[in-house]
Structure 1
Amino acid sequence: MKGWVKIVLLIVIIFICVGSFYYLMFSSLFEGPAPISRDSYLQLDIYGELPERESPEPLSQIFAAQVPVMGELLQSIRKAKIDDNIKGLIIRPMGLSTGWAKIEELKQTIEDFKTSGKKVYVYLEVASNREYYLALSGDTIFGSPEGLLFINGLLGGGYFLKGTLDKLGIEAEFIEAGKYKNYPEMFTRSGMSPAAKEMLSTILDDIFRRYLQEIEKSRGVSARRAKELIDKGIYSLKDAYKSGIIDTLMYYNEFTEFLKEKERSRPGIVSYSRYKEIPFSKLGVKAKEYVALIYAVGSIVSGFGGDFFEDGLIVSENMAKNIKKATEDKSVKAIVLRVNSPGGSGIASDIIWKQVKEARTQKPVIISISDVAASGGYYISMAADTIYSQPSALVGSIGVFSGKFSVKGLYEKLGINKEEIPRGKNADIFSDISLFNDSQEELIREIVMQSYQDFISKAAEGRKVPAAEIREIAGGRVWTGEQAVQNGLIDKLGGLEDAIRSAKIMAGISPDTPVKLKVYPKQRSILEKLMSGGLQARTDWLKNMLPAHIIRYARGFLFYRDYEPLLLIPFVPEIK
């Protein structure tokens, strides 16, 4: 490359970095949110995974589209409820890939918004089960005349890689505690075990039952008719209108004309990206007391480092440090831990559990489960005062496994010969060219069973029940939130707002008194992000290689150690 080209590229990079720095650091000082005109409608374009909070990537905050974020969506709807300038909501769902529990929480928040007497209009173009489930919370469902609707029921499943590993010459060997702790089946079987099928079937049955009930209630049809609509499944929106699945057909520009005629004026349509910048204080809401909101999102891994947010990872020391900060902060009256985790390292989970337990001795600690708090995700939750979950969240999975892979066959296929000389009877226990011998397998089994018994005893302590009761519902089994309320693994059904309300009551604050949220872990500044890739940089390559629902579970594998017990949700339950 010529010298002048290098100089130009360097200047461009410096310009982008400096410009990004000033944009993020100073734009908020000079630009306040634009005022909202009266009789406006807040439009929420809801799509994608709905991450819990904004990405810590500084450049994506500048150049990427305004991706809808779960926390900001919930806050925006709550603000709109009390904002006299907002006449109603326009919901436009499309391409949702999030879990069912987040959709339920959005529905719950929209239903609460409707108690203000304001209207909610939903506009569909192409929709599947998730989009339609959310649409059922609207007062009126509009459809594009040439749109499509796919409400063909739920499909659950997972990936099984044994055939692939056999072809590669890789052998997997795992020891698990719990009949349903079948995460290793992904590597050791070519299909689901009877236990896995049983567990997934009960989860699907529970979610599907609620889906049908929502159709019955919202569309005013019988249970039989709701099932018939699902069994047909695929509709043009014209046919959906004729079948009573949606309320009316019109193009979006006709929809805006409808609003104009209804309001006898030209109502403003306010975007999510604009409205989320308006603070509650602009609406006359004044808060003096603080509640800490701590996000525990991603796979749980052991590690050191600062107290920054790592997208997709819960780092043990990082999380424990943030919980301790919130505990020692005298201005913080209570802690709400927002958990969305499939689990991970047993050792890391225990470190976080201990910090939650210590925090609880000094101030109320409430758990708000998002889509999943299973295995290690449940472990870090079970020491809290109260646990909230949506009905379709995935909860529990009290079980442990450990093991390794032997790649000797792969080496042979590649013409690689690896030789090892051990010193010590079990020096080769985690060798990558051999499986466990009988005595080594027994050693690993002892560690796994000890971790399992420890998990059960701590769950019993947290739930204040005999260990025998926990053992009956453990075994690695995953439950829905509604099932978990019934068997005692969690306390109540509800979302983040319910958890905050409970935290206020336990802290002696009136439930109707506004509070400020101190959010942990903090986001990196642009300079901190540019100067340090952090743990996140080691997992970014996954984004372009794997489906989104697998990435949430796979990131942690770059950090797990061969010998440690793992607390992970069984396989990867994708429910479409």
Structure 2
Amino acid sequence: MKQFFKFVLATIVGVTLMAVIGLALLLGLIAAAAGSDKAVDVEANSVLHIKFTSPINERTPNNPLANLGFLGLDGDKSIGLNDILASIKKAKTDNNIKGIFLDESYMMSGQATTEEIRNALIDFKKSKKFVIAYSEIYTQGFYYLASVADKVYINPKGIFEFRGFSSEITFLKGALDKLGIEAQVIKVGTYKSAVEPYILTKMSDANRLQVTSYLGSMYDHFLTGIAKSRNINKDSLFNYANSGLIQQPEDALKYKLVDGLKYKDEILSDLKSRTGKAEKKDLSGVELADYLKSGSKPETDPKDVTSSNRIAVVYASGEITGGDGDDNTIGSETISKALRKVRMDDKVKAVVLRVNSPGGSSLASDVIWREVMLTKKVKPIIVSMGDVAASGGYYIACAADSIIAEPNTITGSIGIFAILPNMQKLFNDKLGLSFDGVKTGKYADLGDVSRPLSPEERAILQNSVNHGYDDFTKAVANGRGKTQQYINSIGQGRVWTGTQALKIGLVDKLGNINDAIASAAKKANLKGYKLVAYPEQKSIFNKFGEGLTAEVKAHFVKAELGENYRYYEQIKGVTKMMRTPQARMPYDVIIK
């Protein structure tokens, strides 16, 4: 009996402790929600301090952990591209902001995202306000952004990376062979190389050709932008990188890639001088996250915000899957609901579909494509492409009235594939497992991973993939006003940059999301409008009930793995690709 009461008491204490922790977490969420909307005053003669140390998503997440410092979960507050662009645009006409300080950053973003921020800074400079950039370490991504600054400085002992672009693929075939797993591949498309890591140990000739082509296009755009900003010949820049001439900060200064070698205190003194502050006084500055809370929320394009007309911006970001999605996943049900809602809303006169996706489930892509088609019948719909809008990401875009991409957007990859593992050797030889059973039909166990596909089964799957590719190319042909034969010739899974895609007719114009909004307004004959964003982001209390555990888990995994978190995501994605036919880009393009 004594032991019984000890266990009861321990249980009561445990339950009470969990209740206290839960209450503390709830109070923290309430406090975070209350504090998140608190206005911030911007002093006169202030500097807008911009420092990117978190991944840049399409939209600022409605993050319940952002202000929970007492739990040790207060990392970098991620700010979405939407708010970054809006804040820079607002600062351009804000009399209290005298300039922008681009502080040492690691651009955890794609090339097109960096391009949009860079263009916003170029536009900001039209106000005659200054932009100063400083860093101890310049990655190529941050330098591309910083190169538009009036002055670019580096720490005298810092690191300056300027060596050209490279693309690397991890091949898994050797590991699969050791495990006794065969990747059975069914695909359409000479260049549909998403399957190559599972069946080869190096790049195929076709894949090497396409990677060389689009990587060269991206690098050419990179050099062209820097050449214009720094007034340096593009061929000279290519030679600096190719010859390894930039090894020390002194080299960067010698070849005019930076304007000076300075320590942080010297930069702060310079900023004080530019804003009229005495040396002994603190610099008046405002962080980007705080600037979002200053006064009214910045509009992406404040065109007569009193108008009853609306332009809906529907964000489709991440891998395409069936069912519900979130800020970083395109769920076919979530995006379909959003498109239906804006289609039926009489106040919404036009739609901008913002696509940033490598693709995913071909079925889910087709579900969203259907909603884009239906929307196009009743109101203008313009696609704005982000870092990548390839494969399924292009599928959901192709039906729009027009498509606008950045020069370095990755797009195309029109192709379909499926992977089914054969784990017979793993089960039989490695684990000593065997299987037996009965079935009522010849194909009742089609897809069983414990044995290889029969020729008849492979034919069935190949026919399904062929049918999916035919639907894909037909949809693109109809949407782009081309013949299916032509789309097949530029399809085959081949990846293109936005610049290349414009030349072959896959996109209509090069530009950013604001260009897409302006295009939508013009097509709908709107002079005044408000912007509304979809899908609606869930509140922190919705997340508390639905997905807080997942967010906490992701937070700690990201904190532990850092930039290697992408490999963890790739491993998780392998299992998804082995379930249904995929319209997905071959791999992720990472340029450091």
**TM-score normalized with structure 1 length:** 0.92
* Count of aligned positions: 566
User: Post-superposition shift, 1:238?
Assistant: 3.3
How far does residue 25 in structure 1 lie from its aligned partner after superposition?
4.2
State whether structure 2 residue 78 is matched by structure 1 residue 58. Answer: no
Cα offset, 1:430, TM superposition: 0.3
Could you tell me which residue of structure 2 aligns to residue 222 of structure 1?
Answer: 233
Task: Tell me which residue corresponds to 1:41.
Answer: 47
The 1-side partners of 2:486 and 2:391 are apart by 17
- Indicate conservation of the 8 Å contact 2:313/2:352, yes or no: yes
Q: Which moved more, 1:52-61 or 1:138-147?
A: 52-61
Opposite residue 123 of structure 1, the aligned amino acid is Y
Select which of 409, 426, 431 maps to 1:414: 431
After superposing the two structures, state which structure 1 stretch, 517-526 or 9-18, moved more.
Answer: 9-18
The SS at the match of 1:130 is helix
- 1:377 matched to 2:377? The reply is no
Choose from 455, 460, 472 the match for 1:455. Answer: 472
1:298 aligns with one of 310, 318, 339: 318
For the structure 1 residues 381 and 437, does the alpha-carbon distance in structure 2 shift closer, same or farther, using more than 3 Å as the test? same
Moved more, 190-199 or 437-446: 437-446
1:202 to 183, 190, 213: 213
Structure 1 counterpart SS, 2:40? coil
1:94 deviation in Å? Answer: 2.0
Structure 2 unaligned regions, length at least 5 = 1-6, 69-73
- Partners of 1:302 and 1:559 within 8 A in 2: no
Counterpart position of 1:468 = 485
**Pair 326,558 (structure 1): closer, same or farther in 2 beyond 3 Å:** farther
CA 312–536 in structure 1, closer or farther in 2 if over 3 Å, else same = farther
Q: What is the CA–CA distance in structure 2 between the aligned matches of 1:406 and 1:528, rounded to whole Å?
A: 41
The answer to whether the Cα contact below 8 Å between 2:303 and 2:530 also exists between their aligned partners in 1 is no
User: Helix, strand or coil: the match of 2:464?
Assistant: helix
Pick the aligned partner of 1:247 from 250, 259, 282: 259
Does residue 482 in structure 1 map to residue 490 in structure 2? no
How far residue 405 of structure 1 moved from its aligned partner, in angstroms, is 0.2
1:425-472 per-position Cα deviation (integer Å, ceiling 9, x unaligned): 112320111222111111111111111111111101111122222111
The Cα offsets for residues 8-31 of structure 1, whole Å up to 9 and x where unpaired, read as 6324422333213422443356x3
Deviation at 1:518, TM superposition (A): 1.5
Contact 1:378/1:395, CA 8 A, preserved across alignment: yes
Task: Note if contact 1:374-1:395 (Cα within 8 Å) is conserved in structure 2.
Answer: yes
| Cα displacement (A) at 1:279 | 5.2
Offset from partner CA, 1:477-511 (integer Å, 9 cap, x none): 0100110111110111111111111111112123x
Instruction: Say if 1:185 and 1:571, in contact at 8 Å, map to a contact too.
Output: no
One-letter code aligned to 1:325: K
CA offsets, 1:170-203, max 9 Å, x none? 0001111110011111111111111110010001
Q: Deviations over 1:295-340 (max 9, x none)?
A: 111111112x5xxx51432111111011111111222221111111
Greater mean deviation of Cα atoms: 213-222 or 144-153: 213-222
Say yes or no: does 1:432 pair with 2:449: yes
Higher alpha-carbon deviation: 531-540 or 50-59: 531-540
CA–CA separation in structure 2 for the residues paired with 1:205 and 1:238: 28
Q: Of 526, 529, 533, which residue of structure 2 is paired with 1:519?
A: 533
Q: 1:334–1:364: 8 Å Cα contact kept in structure 2?
A: yes
**What SS is found at the alignment partner of 1:475?**
coil
Per-residue displacement from partner, 1:221-266 (whole Å, max 9, x unpaired)? 2233212321316533233223321001222222121122233335
Q: In the alignment, what sits opposite 2:3?
A: none
Whether the aligned pair in 2 keeps the contact of 1:398 and 1:476 (CA below 8 Å) is: yes
Q: CA RMSD in A?
A: 2.5
Residue 95 of structure 2 corresponds to 84
SS of 2:113 mapped into structure 1: helix
Q: Match of 1:59, SS?
A: coil
Deviations 1:378-415 (Å, cap 9, x if unpaired)? 00011111111111111011111113001111112022
Task: Say if 2:384 is the partner of 1:368.
Answer: yes
Secondary structure in 1 matching 2:456:
helix
C-alpha displacement of 1:64 = 3.2
Q: 1:459 to 1:279 in 2, by over 3 A?
A: farther
After superposing the two structures, state which structure 1 stretch, 243-252 or 19-28, moved more. 19-28
Match of 1:530 among 515, 530, 544: 544
Whole-angstrom distance in 2 between the partners of 1:196 and 1:505: 40
What secondary structure does 1:465 align onto? coil
Question: Are residues 504 and 497 of structure 1, via their aligned partners in 2, closer, same or farther at CA, if it must alter by over 3 Å?
Answer: same
Counterparts in 2 of 1:319 and 1:285: CA distance versus 1, 3 Å: closer
Aligned CA distance change for structure 1 residues 414 and 290 (closer, same or farther; 3 Å): same
Change (3 A) 1:538 1:384: farther
Q: CA deviation at 1:3?
A: 5.0
Q: Which residue of 2 aligns with 1:23?
A: 31
| Counterpart in the other structure of 1:73 | 84
Secondary structure class of the residue paired with 2:202: coil
Letter in 2 for 1:459: V
Partner of 2:352: 336
CA distance in 2, matches of 1:50, 1:474: 30
TM-score, normalised to structure 2, is 0.90
Output the amino acid matched with 1:470.
I
* Alpha-carbon distance between aligned partners in 2 of 1:363 and 1:459, rounded to the nearest angstrom: 20
- 2:271 is matched with 259
C-alpha distance in 1 between matches for 2:367 and 2:491: 21
**Structure 2 CA distance for partners of 1:254 and 1:8, relative to 1, 3 Å:** farther
Query: Partner amino acid for 1:14?
Result: G
Q: Identify if the C-alpha distance between structure 1 residues 233 and 174 changes in structure 2 by more than 3 Å, giving closer, same or farther.
A: farther
Secondary structure of the 1:378 match is: helix
- Aligned to 2:247, what secondary structure does the other structure show? strand
User: Among residues 146, 152, 173, which one is paired with 1:162 in the alignment?
Assistant: 173
1:501-512 to 2 correspondence within 5 Å?
501-510=518-527
Say which of 115, 129, 136 aligns to 1:104: 115
- The alpha-carbon distance between structure 1 residues 347 and 542, as it changes in their structure 2 partners (threshold 3 A), is farther
Distance in structure 1 (CA, Å) of the matches to 2:31 and 2:115: 36
Paired amino acid for 2:25: C
- Give the direction of change, closer, same or farther, for the CA distance of 1:325–1:557 in structure 2 (3 Å limit): farther
Amino acid corresponding to residue 462 of structure 1 in structure 2: G
CA contact (8 A) 2:420 2:578 kept: no
Deviation at 1:53, TM superposition (A): 1.7
Partner Cα distance (2:553, 2:204) in 1 = 30
Asked if the contact 2:54/2:77 (under 8 Å) is kept, the reply is no
1:152 matches 2:163: yes
Change (3 A) 1:278 1:551: farther
Question: Do 1:56 and 1:311's aligned partners in 2 also have CA atoms closer than 8 Å?
Answer: no
Contact 1:366-1:503 at 8 Å conserved across structures: yes
Bigger Cα displacement from structure 2, 477-486 vs 525-534 = 525-534
Which of 170, 182, 207 is the aligned partner of 1:171? 182
After superposing the two structures, state which structure 1 stretch, 81-90 or 259-268, moved more. Answer: 259-268
Check if 1:115 corresponds to 2:126: yes
Contact 1:203 1:480 survives alignment (8 Å): yes
